[in-house]
Homo-oligomer: A and B are copies of this chain.
Amino acid sequence: MLIQLNPTGVLDLLSQLEVDLLEQSSTSERYKLFRNCALAVLNVGSHTDSSLEIYNKYKDFDIRLVSRERGIKIELINPPTTAFVDGEIITGIHEHIFSVIRDILFICQKYEKDLTDQKSITHMVFDMLRNAAALRVNSDPSMIVCWGGHSINEVEYKYTKQVGYELGLRGLNICTGCGPGAMKGPMKGATIGHAKQRNPNNRYLGLTEPSIIAAEPPNPIVNELVILPDIEKRLEAFIRTAHGIIIFPGGAGTAEELLYLLGILLHPENQKQSLPVILTGPKESENYFIELCKFVEMTLGTEALDKFEVIIDNPELVGIKLKSAMANVRDYRKSQGDAYYFNWTLKIENDFQQPFSPTHKNMAGLDLHLDQPKQQLAANLRRAFSGIVAGNVKDEGIQAIKQDGRFILSGEPELMNAMDKLLRAFVEQGRMKLPGSKYTPCYEIKA
């Protein structure tokens, strides 16, 4: 089976020089990354979060760039059939394929060297979003980032749909990390809400990264997909794009996101920022949030608790609060001369921007003691959870665990006990991996 596709978006219009460079990119080491991401995108709807499983299943899949005078097209060889309807690729997936090419092969030509300074990293995040047409100049604040687990139970999933519906009814848009569970529910709900309100400019922004895209492939509802190179740039894209943030129940990744966010909001220069944050879930998940709040309070202090609000079992209230907060966000941005489409004034320390490589050495070396500045502690805790996510669902992490055993996390006993308790709860509640597989922890806590 061989399918040819014409380019979409910026790849529609390439010079021959750019086509040459693209061809070179796709034959270099980047090719494997590109192929795997493309496969992930095509394989949406499969019921596994094991990228290995997917790669094995589609060994004979291939993707080729074909250059022409007037640009490129691509050929898919033996793609998963689920991406097609009566032999035609689903438009949303078609677009995603070219988002992969754009972000993995094309834009990287501009960013070959590792960026280190704050301004350059932020510029790259901005540039990738702009290049994906994900920055809208003349729109009022409306983008709600929804975080939460890819593996959540049916009650929680339904709840995320209801929240999305309430957001959609209020003309708010949705940004998630793509993937199933809490990342898909709000988009489905909002789609119905938008339809009832005749909202013609619905936005469903998906921000992902190469190492997680296979485990959490973007739902075709996502109509703006950006694949940032690593979790740190992805997190920066999330919070500079957000006009409001919702955190649903989730596992280690959700914890990482919350700690990253709090670490930044606690920065003195961000005291006046207007960025509403709501943790929410159904009645049945109340304990989850109680535990999470306890952990936050113990590690980052009561001050951190002031940065968000917890709303249990009330999707409508979540919608009302976020909608009414949009006026404040606008006023704040206006008062600062800042853009609505990108939060330039938010201070993000270099500490939060530098990629953290979750090797056994780096994980073991994390400084996990309560007696350090809150922001620094937040940064370190964020890294710890980031490593666990890698060990759970990212290819490189899984390989590392397979080879060298569990990550060892150690530090101050009080802190380690709290972490252990939290993680155990995630495991028990099935938040680490999709159901169907027994979860074997990739970490070991040592006090």
Contact = CB atoms under 8 A, between A and B. Distances in A.
Nearest to A93: B196
A197 B15 contact: no
B337 A68 contact: yes
B344 A69 contact: yes
Contact of A198 (B92, B170, B192, B344): B92
A74 to B, nearest CB: 15
Given A85-B170, A91-B196, A170-B86, A137 B12 contact: yes
Interface string A103-133: 0000000000000000110110011001000
A70, A92, A95, A137 pick with most chain B CB within 10 angstroms: A70
Contacts of A221: 192, 195-196
A95 B204 CA distance: 25
A271 interface: no
B15 A123 contact: yes
Interface in A20-50: none
Nearest to A70: B339
A323 interface: yes
A169 interface: yes
25 contacts: A13-B130, A13-B137, A15-B123, A15-B126, A17-B122, A17-B123, A69-B338, A69-B339, A69-B344, A70-B339, A70-B342, A70-B344, A71-B339, A86-B323, A86-B324, A90-B169, A90-B196, A90-B197, A91-B198, A92-B195, A92-B196, A195-B220, A195-B221, A195-B223, A196-B220
Interface of A: 12-13, 15-18, 68-71, 85-86, 90-92, 95, 119-120, 122-123, 126-127, 130, 135, 137, 169-170, 188, 191-192, 195-198, 200, 202, 204, 220-221, 223, 319-320, 323-324, 336-342, 344-345
